[in-house]
């Protein structure tokens, strides 16, 4: 597999929304109940609003053999928001490559720390990346409650 990490373009957004929904339905469904999966990957997500969240953020897209296979985004304050790898490309090092790019950018702009609200599914991956748990929490999305974990990673190493 040839893996490329490249900057996000706004016209990637429809494909990334498809990937986001598909990964939640096929991967996160291991850790979340059907009603949680339905709310998280809802068909009612407004595509334009979803895409507009990328604006002003550092966003990288992974391509595996020329096909979109994942994405990750960093807010200017060091908050890592969406990090998703396609259900067909899990466990092939794409998450590592995305986080390498995010961490390099974070160091470049002088951030001291990253934080993320990590899904139960992604918890072992974030632990591998040096994030530590600050607090388990419950968030509400489209009226449905979800457990996730607030994690932080100092960038002083």
Ligand X SMILES: CC(C)(COP(=O)(O)OP(=O)(O)OC[C@H]1O[C@@H](n2cnc3c(N)ncnc32)[C@H](O)[C@@H]1OP(=O)(O)O)[C@@H](O)C(=O)NCCC(=O)NCCS
Rounded-to-integer distance, Cα 136 and Cα 113, Å: 19
Per CB under 6 A, the segment of 7-15, 107-115, 120-128, 139-147 that binds ligand X is 120-128
Per CB under 6 A, the segment of 32-40, 50-58, 82-90, 100-108 that binds ligand X is 82-90
Which listed residue (15, 26, 92, 144) binds ligand X by CB under 6 A? Answer: 92
Polymer length of the chain: 157
Which listed residue (16, 23, 36, 41) binds ligand X by CB under 6 A? Answer: 23
Which listed residue (16, 39, 83, 102) binds ligand X by CB under 6 A? Answer: 83
28 lines the binding site for ligand X (CB under 6 A): yes
- Please report where in the chains the tokens 């396609």 appear, as a residue: 86
42 lines the binding site for ligand X (CB under 6 A): no
Instruction: Please provide residue 123's backbone torsions phi and psi, each rounded to the nearest 5 degrees.
Output: -55, -50
Q: Given strand 67-74, what is the order of strands in its sheet?
A: 3-7, 58-64, 67-74, 79-85, 113-119, 144-154, 132-141
Binding positions for ligand X, rule: CB under 6 A: 23, 27-28, 83-85, 90-96, 118-119, 121-122, 124-125, 128
């Amino acid at each position: 597999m040839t893996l490329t990490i490249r900057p996000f373009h706004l016209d990637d957004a429809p494909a990334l929304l498809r990937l986001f929904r598909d990964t939640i339905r096929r991967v996160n469904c291991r850790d979340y109940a059907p009603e949680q999966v339905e709310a998280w990957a809802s068909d009612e997500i407004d595509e334009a609003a979803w895409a507009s969240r990328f604006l002003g953020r550092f966003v990288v897209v992974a391509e595996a053999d020329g096909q979109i296979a994942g994405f990750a985004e960093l807010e200017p304050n060091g908050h890592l928001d969406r990090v998703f790898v396609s259900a067909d490309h899990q466990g092939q090092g794409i998450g590592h490559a995305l986080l390498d790019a995010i961490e390099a950018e974070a160091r470049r702009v002088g951030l001291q720390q990253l934080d993320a609200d990590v899904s139960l599914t992604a918890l072992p991956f974030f632990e591998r990346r040096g994030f530590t748990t600050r607090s388990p929490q419950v968030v509400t999305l489209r009226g449905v409650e979800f457990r996730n974990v607030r994690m932080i990673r100092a960038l002083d190493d």
